[in-house]
Amino acid sequence: MSAHVDHIREIERVRAGGPSDRDPTVVQSWLRCLHAHRLDPAQACEAYIVPEARLREHRQQSEDLIAIARSGLEQLYRHIAGQHYVLLLADRQGVAVDFLGDPLFNNQLRKSGLYLGAEWSEARAGTCAVGACLEAGEALTIHQSDHFDNTHTPLSCTAAPIYRADGELAAVLDISLLSSPIQKTSQKLALHLVTATARRIELANLMARNRHEWVLRFAQSPEFLDVDPEAAVSIDGSGRILGLTHGGARILADAAGGDWRRADLLIGQPLVHFFDLAVDDLPGLTRRRPTRDRVVRARDGHILFAHAIEPQNRPAGSPVSRRRDLPEPLRALGGGDPRMVALQARAAKLAPKPVPILIQGETGTGKEFLARALHEGSSLNGAYVAVNCAAIPESLIEGELFGHVPGAFTGAAAKGRKGLIEAADGGTLFLDEIGDMPLALQARLLRVLAEREVTPVGASRPRPVAVRVLSASHRDLGRLVAEGRFRQDLYYRLNAATLTLPPLRERQDFDWVLDRLIERHGGGRLAIADAARRALRAHDWPGNIRELDNAVALAAALCEGGVIETADLPDHVQPAGEADDARRAALAAVLRDCGGNISEAARRLGLDRTTVHRQMKRLGL
Ligand SMILES: Nc1ncnc2c1ncn2[C@@H]1O[C@H](COP(=O)(O)OP(=O)(O)OP(=O)(O)O)[C@@H](O)[C@H]1O
C-alpha cells in the first residue's frame, strides 16, 4: 500500500514540475497520461483484453504484418526460451495481435495483459512499453514502477517500433516479464534483442515489397553488411527513394540534415541528394565486389558500407507490378486474380475521392471487407460506421440512422440521441443491404446526400454533416429500381461508381484466400494437407469467402497436430465419393475423345461450357 502511495506522490511531484530520476521517455509519458489522457494515478485499472470479435478485426487488419513478423518473432522467442519472457506484437492501436508465451503461465499472463488481445495504448493502460513506444516512435523499456498505473508495476516491458516501408509506424514488438530483477539495466539485452528483431522484420518487409526495384542495404562495418545489415532503402529506376526501413530513414535524415520522422519528405528525393551516388553506380555495389570496396559517402561526410540488390525482372503488366502501388488496406483484398487486380486498382483511385460507391457481389464475397478497406485507404479522420439495413427493424431504423431530439416519440431517450449518420460525420457511413431500406426512408436518405445535412426525428432544424457514403447489396439494385422497389434518384446518388466483387468459385487466387484464412485461424501454427486443399478447391462455395472462413474455422478447431486433413472439413465439402468417381471417369473419357476441347465436350454432353467447367473443377479434373 505504501509503495502505491509513494508512487502516486512521485507522479504528483512530476506533475508539479519537480525533478525526476526517471528516463525522459517515462516522464514525458506520465505527463501525457495526466494531461492528454486525463488518467488518475490513484485509480488502478486491470489489464484490458478486447472482445473476441474486435480482436478478430484487429488481426484481420494486420494480417500482412503478422505474416511477415511471424518468423522474426519465432526466432526471437527461441533465443529467449526458458527465461519466462513473453512476446507481443501490437498494432497501431496498441492491441496485441500476435503473442508467444509459455502456455504454462497462461492464466497469469492473461490476467496481467501479457496476452493476445490485450490493449496497451497509453490512453487505456497509462505509461506502458507498447503505448509509450507508439507515442515516442522509439525503442524503450518501461520497468516496474515506470508504469503509471499501479496494477502494472510488477511488469518489466521493453518495446521497439516497426515501421512500414513508407515510414509510417505500423506496429510495436514487445518483450515482457511478469517479474524481473530490480535493476532496469537488467533489460538492456532485451532492448537490444527487440530492436534487432524489429529491424529484421522491416528489412524483410522492404525486400518482399520491392523485389522489382533496386534495394540498397547499409552497415557501419563491412563484416555485417551482407549478413545482418542495419538499414535499407529501395530506389526506383530513375534513382529516387521509394521506401525505407527505420534505420534507412535515420541515415537519409542525417545525410541531408532532415527529420527522420518526416519520411514523407525523404521518399521521392533523388539518391544523389543524400549520397555521393547515382542510380548508375548501383551495379558497382553488388555482391560481385568485395564488401570492403563497397564504400559510399553520405552528404554529411559519413562513410558507410553498402550492398545493392538488383531488381528482379517482372513480366510487363503483371498483377504484382500493379499491386505494389496499392495502399496497404486494399492489398489485403486479393492475391492476383485478374478481376480483383482490376477492382483493386479502381478502388485505389476511388478511395481518396468523396464519391459514393455501390458495392455489389454475392453474399459473403467481402463487400463489408472492401468497404472498410476503402475507408482505411481514404484520408478521412472520422469514424467508419457500418449499418446493416436488413438487420434493423423498420420501426427502429429511422431513429437509428437520423437520431432524435428529447421526447421526440414515446420511448425516446430522455436526452435525445445522435444518429448513425452524425456518428459518421467526417468519416464513412457504410449502408449494407441497402436494397432492404424502406421506401420512405430512402427519400430521407436522399436528402442527406443531396443537401449534406441531417434532421433528427422531432428536430426543427437540420444539422450539417459530411459523410462519405458506401453502400452494398447482394441484390441487383438496377432490377429493384425497374420493379419500383428502389428509388431511381437514390440509386443514381449512391452509385457514382460501382465495384463488383467476383464470387469465390470464379477467383483464380483461391489458394491465396485460403492461406490468409488459415493464417487468420491458426496464427502461423496451422497448415493444410494437399488432399484437404484439393477438396476445398473443388467445392462450389455458394456462401463465398464467409463459407470458406467458417469451414477453415471449424477445421482449425477439429484438427490435431496443426495440420488440417480432409476429415476435419465440414461434411458438404468432403471430397467426391464413389458415384463421383464414375462421373469423373465418364467426363474424363469424353474430354479425351474431344482432345481436351471443352466446347466440343459440352456440345456432346448437351451441357453448357460453364457447367462442364464447374463439374471438372468439382471432380478435380
Ligand atoms: N480479402 C479477404 N481476405 C480475408 N478475408 C476476407 C476477405 N474478404 C472477405 N473476407 C471475410 O469473409 C467474410 C465475409 O465478408 P463480408 O462480411 O465482407 O462479406 P459480404 O459480402 O459483405 O457479406 P453479406 O453479403 O452477407 O453482407 C468475413 O469473415 C470477412 O472477414
- Whole-number Å distance, alpha carbon 513 to ligand 1 midpoint, is 11
The ligand 1 atom nearest the CA atom of 472: 22
3-state secondary structure 283-298: HHHCCCCCHHHCEEEE
Give the mean model confidence (pLDDT) for residues 341-365: 91
Q: Kindly give the distance from the C-alpha atom of residue 341 to the centroid of ligand 1, in angstroms, as a whole number.
A: 17
How many angstroms does the Cα of residue 210 sit away from the middle of ligand 1?
Answer: 28
Question: Atom of ligand 1 at shortest distance to CA of 367?
Answer: 22
Closest C-alpha to ligand 1, atom 15: 366
Rounded percentage of the chain residues whose pLDDT exceeds 90: 47
- Cα distance between residue 107 and residue 126, in whole Å: 22
pLDDT of residue 34: 95
Has residue 284 got a pLDDT over 50?
A: yes
Q: What is the pLDDT of residue 160?
A: 97
Distance 134 CA to ligand 1 centre (A): 30
Alpha-carbon torsion (605, 610, 613, 619), positive or negative: negative
Average pLDDT over residues 377-397: 86
pLDDT value at 244 more than 50: yes
- For residue 577, the Cα-to-chain-centroid distance in whole angstroms is 40
Residue of 368, 372, 430, 515 to test ligand 1 pocket, by largest number of atoms within 8 Å of CB: 368
> Is residue 133 over pLDDT 90?
yes
Quick one: average pLDDT of 148-154? Answer: 93
Is the C-alpha dihedral spanning 166, 171, 176, 181 positive or negative? positive
Atom of ligand 1 nearest to the CA of 545: 12
Nearest CA to ligand 1 atom 1: 333
Q: Ligand 1: distance of its center to the CA of 363 in Å? A: 8
CA of 62 to the centre of ligand 1 (A): 16
**In the predicted model, is pLDDT for residue 467 greater than 80?**
yes
Q: 8-22, 259-273, 317-331, 548-562: which has the minimum mean pLDDT?
A: 317-331
Identical fold for domains 504-573 and 578-618, yes or no, is no
Question: Ligand 1 centroid to 536 CA: how many Å?
Answer: 17
Task: Tell me which residues have their CB closer than 6 angstroms to ligand 1.
Answer: 60, 332-333, 361, 363-369, 432, 474, 516, 545-546, 549
- Which of 476, 545, 547 to probe ligand 1 with, by most ligand atoms within 8 A of CB? 545
Give the per-residue pLDDT at 191: 94
Q: What is the mean pLDDT of residues 458-481?
A: 90
Separation between Cα atoms, residue 412 and residue 466, nearest integer Å: 25
What ranges do the domains of the chain cover? 2-197, 210-309, 325-500, 504-573, 578-618
Q: What is the pLDDT of residue 324?
A: 55
Q: Which pLDDT does position 325 carry in this prediction?
A: 66
Ligand 1, atom 7: closest residue by C-alpha: 366
Ligand 1 centre and the CA of 491: distance in Å? Answer: 23
- DSSP notation for 119-188: B--HHHHSS-HHHHHHHH-S-EEEEGGGSSSGGGTT-EEEEEEEE-TTS-EEEEEEEEESS--S-GGGGH
> Could you tell me the distance, in angstroms and rounded to a whole number, from the CA of residue 433 to the centre of ligand 1?
14
Distance 614 CA to ligand 1 centre (A): 23
The C-alpha atoms of residue 456 and residue 423 are separated, in whole angstroms, by 12
**Residue 478 identity:** G
Which residue in the block uniquely carries the three cell numbers 523485389?
A: 211
Tell me if 518 sits within 8 A of 526, measured CB to CB.
Answer: yes
294-333: per-residue pLDDT in tens? 999 999 999 999 999 988 765 444 444 445 568 888 999 9
**What's the CA-to-centroid distance between 547 and ligand 1, angstroms?**
9
Letter for the amino acid at 523? Answer: G
User: Cell numbers of 233, please?
Assistant: 532503402
Q: pLDDT tens-digit profile of 487-532?
A: 988 998 898 888 999 999 988 889 999 999 999 998 878 999 988 9
**pLDDT, average across residues 431-446:** 89
- The mean pLDDT value for 78-88 works out to 85
CATH homologous superfamily for 325-500?
P-loop containing nucleotide triphosphate hydrolases (3.40.50.300)
Q: Kindly state which CATH superfamily the domain 2-197 is placed in.
A: GAF domain (3.30.450.40)
Question: For residue 324, what are the CA distances in angstroms to 212, 334, 405, 509, 552?
Answer: 10, 13, 48, 17, 29
Residue 342 alpha carbon to ligand 1 centre in Å: 19
Determine phi and psi for 140, rounding to 5 degrees.
-160, 165
Residue in 64, 38, 49 with CA at minimum distance from that of residue 524? 64
Local confidence band at 411 (pLDDT 50, 70, 90 cut-offs): low
Minimal-distance CA residue to ligand 1 atom 2? 333
pLDDT at 105 over 90: no
* Ligand 1 centroid distance, CA of 130 (Å): 30
Q: How far does the centroid of ligand 1 lie from the alpha carbon of residue 288, in Å?
A: 48
Phi and psi at 218, nearest 5°, equal -125, 150
Whether the predicted pLDDT of 460 surpasses 70? yes
What pLDDT score was predicted for residue 608? 77
Nearest CA to 147 out of 177, 169, 117 is that of 177
- Measured by CA distance, the residue closest to atom 26 of ligand 1 is 363
Q: Which of 52-56, 190-194, 210-214, 583-587 has the lowest mean pLDDT?
A: 583-587
Between the CA of 494 and the centroid of ligand 1 the distance, in Å, is 21
Number of DSSP helices (H) and strands (E) in the chain, helices first: 26, 21
pLDDT at 621 over 90: no
Ligand 1 atom 31: the closest Cα is on which residue? 369
- pLDDT in the model for residue 322: 46
Give the tens place of pLDDT for each residue, 542-567. Answer: 899 999 999 999 999 888 888 999 98
Q: What is the pLDDT of residues 389-399, one digit of tens each?
A: 888 777 788 88
What separation in angstroms does the CA of 112 have from each of 95, 200, 426? 14, 28, 37
* C-alpha closest to that of 34 among 12, 5, 3: 12
- The tally of CA atoms less than 13 A away on the side-chain side of residue 365 is 22
**What average pLDDT does this structure show over 138-152?**
95
- For position 343, what pLDDT does the model report? 92
Residue to substitute in 546, 547, 550 for testing ligand 1 pocket (most ligand atoms within 8 angstroms of CB): 546
Nearest-CA residue for ligand 1 atom 8 is 366
Q: Is 335's pLDDT higher than 80? A: yes
pLDDT band of 576, cuts 50, 70, 90? low
Q: In this prediction, what percent of the chain has a pLDDT beyond 70?
A: 96
Query: What's the predicted TM-score (pTM) here?
Result: 0.52
β pairing state of 231-235 and 214-219 = antiparallel
- Assign a CATH topology to domain 504-573: Helicase, Ruva Protein; domain 3 (1.10.8)
Element (H, E) at 72: helix 63-79
Distance 167 CA to ligand 1 centre (A): 29
Question: How many whole angstroms separate alpha carbon 159 and alpha carbon 526?
Answer: 27
The chain-wide mean pLDDT, for the chain, equals 88
pLDDT at res. 320: 42
pLDDT of residue 371: 97
User: DSSP class of residue 214?
Assistant: E
The CATH fold of domain 578-618:
Arc Repressor Mutant, subunit A (1.10.10)
Nearest CA, atom 10, ligand 1: 366
Ligand 1, from 369, 392, 516: best to mutate by most atoms within 8 Å of Cβ?
Answer: 369
Across 180-194, 201-215, 244-258, 607-621, least confident range: 607-621
Rounded Cα distance between 331 and 323, Å, is 7
Residues 6+ apart with CB under 8 A from 578: none
Provide the pLDDT confidence category of residue 57 given band limits of 50, 70 and 90. Answer: confident
Which residue has its alpha carbon closest to ligand 1 atom 28? 546
Q: So what's the pLDDT on residue 321? A: 40
- Mean predicted confidence (pLDDT) in 49-68: 84
